[in-house]
Amino acid sequence: MNQGIRSFFFALLRSAISGKLLSDQEKAAFLEEWLSAMRAMAKRHDVSHILGAGLRQNELLKQKDRETENAILQAVYRYEQLNYGFKMLCEAFEKAKIPFLPLKGAVLRQYYTQPWMRTSCDIDILIREEDLDRAVTLLTQSYQYIYGKKNAHDVSLFLNDLIHLELHYALINEGVAQSSREVLKDVWEAAKLKEGTRFWYQMPDEMFYLYHIAHMTKHFEQGGCGIRSFIDLWILDSIDGIDLAKRNALLEKGNLLKFAEAARRLCRVWFEEATHDAISQQMEHYILRGGIYGTTENRITVQQQKKGSKFKYALSKIFISYDVIKFHYPILQKHRWLTPFMQVRRWCKLIFCGHAKRTMRELKYSQNISADKADATREFLTSIGL
């Protein structure tokens, strides 16, 4: 995607999420042959509905376009399904007297011009860890949810293949954005009850902002966090009456201010026509290449530098840490002494269940990363505080 198409692509996203039309001069620059490249980029980052809304409200399509209409209708349908599920969960937790705190899209949608523009694949809700078993029992026995699995900081539950609930008992995984994780441990002490409710809690603005940035860094380190996270950030930065000093103070405490400033800069480039600097250019390349879920190549390149060397990265693939393996084999949470045996069991699974080839491909890619690319990546990570 060349610079002209890219600039127009982000102008359309900005128009849709702000509700403001493009200028006549901007519209005049549009070329219909750009659509294919813009739609491909939008699809990779799950913002096809926002692109479609921008095209439609600026009347840039000569006739009713099925692809655009389908993208918008699917987003509306996804929103209605999730909103129905979210309301049901709120009522269930209120009735059962289980304190809960909505996260991510459930909070962010209120700031979009249209709530369906903030799509997501799941519902994220935080509860206290001591309430986890009671909440899971409630949902599986009384509300037909099906238990999925327990992960490092949440439990997955499903309802009729339409709703995926991530029931969090911690905000951030162990070992990820560790400084912010320490700050976010105090979430329940800082949270306040939503007006008119007894068990629905909300984070203060600065803590929610820190959580959003920490979540971005987690995905960034895993290969990419997608355009949508930057749209969310731009919207959060546009809220009237925010206390920037409070936000920055908490980001500094969580050791994420440098990353936040770099991400804010890229938001201004994409949505306010600011000029690139070297860091924003490198971040843009990394994000656009990665798509919404990132790429294996991005992830390996970053993780190798965070581990410190090719050898240490290879060791981390062979011997995964206890904090990770204990969720692959829950018995370790009660009997840690079994960890070496579970490592061997994991190796057998890799060999006999078809995962060995993938692991070998990743190790081979890691070994082939050039010294120049490794140095550039290390310098980039340092420049954004990661």
Q: Where in the chain are the domains?
A: 1-63, 203-294, 298-383
Q: pTM value?
A: 0.86
pLDDT at 11: 95
Per the structure block, which two tokens stand in for 28?
Answer: 């005049």
Q: Count the Cβ atoms, other than its own, within 10 Å of residue 119.
A: 21
Element (H, E) at 186: none
Residues 6+ apart with CB under 8 A from 166: 122, 123, 124, 125, 154, 155, 156
10 Å CB burial of residue 366 (0-12, 13-18, 19+) is buried
User: Which residues, at least 6 apart from 375, have a Cβ–Cβ distance to it below 8 Å?
Assistant: none
- Of 169, 189, 170, 167, nearest to 178 by C-alpha is 170
Question: Which has the closest alpha carbon to 180: 170, 168, 166?
Answer: 170
Give pLDDT, residue 251.
95
* CA 8 distance to own-chain centroid: 24
Q: How far apart are CA 114 and CA 76, in angstroms?
A: 10
Per-residue pLDDT of the chain in tens (386 residues, 90 and over written 9): 788 899 999 999 999 999 999 999 999 999 989 999 999 999 999 999 999 999 999 999 877 778 888 999 999 999 999 999 999 999 999 999 999 999 999 999 999 999 999 988 899 999 999 999 999 999 999 999 999 888 878 899 999 877 899 999 988 766 566 678 888 889 999 999 999 999 999 999 999 999 999 989 888 877 778 899 999 999 999 999 999 999 999 999 999 999 999 999 999 999 998 999 999 998 898 888 877 776 777 777 777 777 777 777 677 767 777 777 776 777 877 788 888 777 788 777 766 666 667 777 777 767 777 777 777 778 878 888 87
241-262: burial string, b at 16+ Cβ within 10 Å, e else? eeeeeebeebbeebbbbbbbeb
Cα distance between residue 37 and residue 63, in whole Å = 19
- pLDDT recorded at residue 371: 78
Distance from C-alpha of 315 to C-alpha of 156, rounded to nearest angstrom: 29
- Locate 334 and state its tokens: 């009660």
Give residue 350's pLDDT: 67
Residue 380 has a pLDDT of: 78
The pLDDT, as a whole number, for residue 177 is 61
Compute φ and ψ for 26, nearest 5 degrees: -65, -45
